[in-house]
Structure 1
Amino acid sequence: MPFDASGTTVLITGASAGLGAEFARRFAGRGADLVLVARRADRLEQLATELRAAHHVTVTVLPFDLAAPGAGARLRSELAARDIRVDSLINNAGFGTHGDFASADLERLTSEIQLNVTTLVELSHTFLPDLLRGRGALVNVASTAAFQPTPGMAVYGATKAFVLNFTEALWAEARGTGLTVLAVCPGPTRTEFFDVVGSDDAAVGRMQTADQVVATALRALDRRSTPPSVVSGLMNWVSSVSTRFATRRIGALASGRLLGDVRMQASVTR
C-alpha cells in the first residue's frame, strides 16, 4: 500500500534544490502540505509557487540556517507560533568537504558535523513527539559513504556513518508505533553537492538523478514492511555490500584511491 501523505504536513530540510526539492515535489504530488527549510529564500519561494499551482497544497517557506546550534528548537518554536504541526520529517540538509584532514579549515569541519549530525539529531528529537502522534515518517538522508572509511572525505563519511546507524536504531525503537523510519543512502547524485564539495574526485561511480534517489526512498516507504535503510541504485548497493567482505584496512585504502588518493603532507622540522 502506498505511503499515504494526503492531509498531512511534511517538513523538508535542504529543500531549495536537489534531493530536498524532489522530495517536496513527490510529497506535494501525494497531497501533503509542506514546510520547506533552507537558507536561500528566493529558491524556496520559487519552488513553493510551483507546488502550490501544480498540486493546490499549502506550502510554508522558512529561510533558516540549520547549521547554527539550537536550530531544532528555534524551528519548532517558529512552527508553533504559526500553529503548524509536523507529521513527517525529511532530514536532507547536509554538505561535504574534500581534502586532507590536516590542512582542512576546522571551522568548516565543525559546521559540517553540526549540520550533518547535531542538527539532524536535534530535529529528530524535537519533532518526534509530533511524528509519533500520527502516521508519518522520519527519513534521514545518509550516503553510500557510510559503509566504509572515506580518506579525503574523512569527516563527511563519518557523519553519514553516524546517520545510517542512528536511523537504523530509531527504526528498531519505533516498531509498533505507526511511525515509519528510513535511512536513504544515495551514491553520487546530480545535485549541487559537488559544487559545495569543490572537487570532482568525490564523484565516484555513475551519477544518479535526484528523481531516481527519491523514487527509491518512496518505494521503500510504500512497502508493507519498510526496511531500516535503502541504497539507491543497483551498483551502489553492490558496492555497499562488497565492503562486508574486505578488511577495514583494504576498505580504507581502496576508498582512498577512488577519492583521489588524498594524503597529508609531513611536517618538516629543522
Structure 2
Amino acid sequence: MTTGTILITGASSGLGEEMARQFADLGYDLALAARRAERLEALSAEIRERHPNRRVELHALDVNDDDAVFAVFGAVAEQFGTLDRVVINAGLGKGAPLGTGRYDANKETAMTNFVAALAQTEAAMEIFRRQGSGHLVMISSISALRGMRKTITAYAATKAGVAALAEGLINENVKAKGIDVSIIYPGYIRSEMNEKVAQNTKFMVDTATGVKAMVAAIEKRKERAYVPAWPWVPIGFALKHAPMGVVRRLS
C-alpha cells in the first residue's frame, strides 16, 4: 500500500534526488522530472532495487519550457489518476553582483527559479483545484528572507518571489478548498548546486541530514519551515528583523 503520489521537479541531483529517495522510503509512489534523463534512470533503478513495489515514473523536463511543464504535470496526473503532492524544487544557483557584466547569469537564474516556478505553480494548482485536494510544496531558501549581497543578490530575490507566490495562495485560503501549501526555507545543505562552496562553511550539513529535516516539515504540511530548525529558526528570525548592518554581517 502506498502513502500517496508525489511529483518532484529537479529530481536528478541535489535536494530533489535525495527527497525522492526519502519519500520512496516513506512509501510514496513518485513522478520524477528533470532535464538529465540518464540521471533519473539511475535514480529510478536505485529506488526500485530498494523498493521493488514502488512505482516510479520518469519525465525529461526543462522547466523553462512552459508548454512542456503543463504537458508533463498533466501526464503525471493522468498516469496516477490523482496527484497528492507537487514539490517545486528545480532551480539554479548562478549569479554575479549586479552591474558587473553578468546579466546573462542573473537572468538565467531568474527565469529558472522564478518564472519557471510560476509555470509549475500554475500547472500544479490547476490539477489540485480540479481534484479538490493536493499539497503544493515550494522550495525557497533562507536567503529569501532579506536582500542578499554580491553573487546571491538575484538568487535570493528569485527565492523571495517563490515564497511570495506560495504565501499568496495561503492568503487566498486554498486550504479551505482542500489544498495545503508549504514554503520550505533550507539553510546551508550540501548539494550539487553548492559543491564549489568551501567544505568548512559554518552550519553546512550533509545532503541526507538536511533533506531529512525538509521531508519531516513537508510531511507535517507546515505552512513555513526553516530547515534544519537549528540554527536556522533563530538565524531566520534575525535575518528577517535585524537592521541591514546586522544582516550584512550575518550574510
Q: TM-score normalised by the shorter chain: which range applies?
A: 0.7 to 0.9
- Is the Cα–Cα contact under 8 Å of residues 35 and 59 in structure 1 kept in the other structure? yes
Q: CA deviation at 1:24?
A: 0.9
Q: CA deviation at 1:159?
A: 0.6
Q: CA deviation at 1:104?
A: 4.3
* Unmatched tracts of structure 1, length 5 or more: 259-270
2:96 aligned partner: 99
2:149 aligned partner: 151
Question: SS of 1:101's equivalent?
Answer: coil
Alignment TM-score, normalising by the size of structure 2: 0.86
Does residue 198 of structure 2 align to residue 209 of structure 1? no
Share of identical aligned residues, percent? 26
Please give the alpha-carbon distance, in whole angstroms, between the structure 2 residues aligned to 1:91 and 1:222: 15
1:178 aligned partner: 178
Deviations 1:128-157 (A, max 9, x none): 132342653211111110111111111001
Does residue 112 of structure 2 align to residue 115 of structure 1? yes
**What is the identity, as a one-letter code, of the residue corresponding to 1:142?**
S
**What is the identity, as a one-letter code, of the residue corresponding to 2:17?**
A
Superposition pairs of residues 1-270 of structure 1, within 5 angstroms = 6=2, 8-55=4-51, 56-76=53-73, 78-79=75-76, 85-132=82-129, 133=131, 135-152=133-150, 153-172=152-171, 173-195=173-195, 200=197, 205-223=202-220, 226-233=221-228, 234-247=230-243, 249-251=244-246, 253-254=248-249, 258=251
| Cα distance change, pair 70–109 in 1 and its aligned pair in 2 (3 A) | farther
Question: SS of 1:102's equivalent?
Answer: coil
- Is the Cα–Cα contact under 8 Å of residues 194 and 202 in structure 1 kept in the other structure? no
Please give the alpha-carbon distance, in whole angstroms, between the structure 1 residues aligned to 2:217 and 2:119: 24
Please give the alpha-carbon distance, in whole angstroms, between the structure 1 residues aligned to 2:144 and 2:200: 15
1:262 aligned partner: none
Please give the alpha-carbon distance, in whole angstroms, between the structure 2 residues aligned to 1:98 and 1:200: 14
Please give the alpha-carbon distance, in whole angstroms, between the structure 2 residues aligned to 1:57 and 1:200: 35
Please give the alpha-carbon distance, in whole angstroms, between the structure 1 residues aligned to 2:4 and 2:241: 43
Q: Which has the higher helix share?
A: 2
Please give the alpha-carbon distance, in whole angstroms, between the structure 2 residues aligned to 1:74 and 1:82: 12
Alignment TM-score, normalising by the size of structure 1: 0.80
| Cα distance change, pair 107–235 in 1 and its aligned pair in 2 (3 A) | same
**What is the identity, as a one-letter code, of the residue corresponding to 1:158?**
A
Q: CA deviation at 1:178?
A: 2.7
RMSD over aligned Cα, in angstroms? 2.6
| Cα distance change, pair 36–104 in 1 and its aligned pair in 2 (3 A) | farther
Max Rg structure = 1
Q: CA deviation at 1:182?
A: 0.7
Please give the alpha-carbon distance, in whole angstroms, between the structure 1 residues aligned to 2:70 and 2:144: 27
Question: SS of 2:93's equivalent?
Answer: coil
- Is the Cα–Cα contact under 8 Å of residues 183 and 230 in structure 1 kept in the other structure? yes
- Is the Cα–Cα contact under 8 Å of residues 9 and 86 in structure 1 kept in the other structure? yes
| Cα distance change, pair 124–10 in 1 and its aligned pair in 2 (3 A) | same
* Unmatched tracts of structure 2, length 5 or more: none
- Is the Cα–Cα contact under 8 Å of residues 15 and 44 in structure 1 kept in the other structure? yes
Please give the alpha-carbon distance, in whole angstroms, between the structure 2 residues aligned to 1:158 and 1:211: 26
Q: Select between 130-139 and 87-96 the one with higher mean Cα deviation.
A: 130-139
Deviations 1:178-197 (A, max 9, x none): 322111111111110124xx
Q: CA deviation at 1:220?
A: 2.5
| Cα distance change, pair 32–22 in 1 and its aligned pair in 2 (3 A) | same
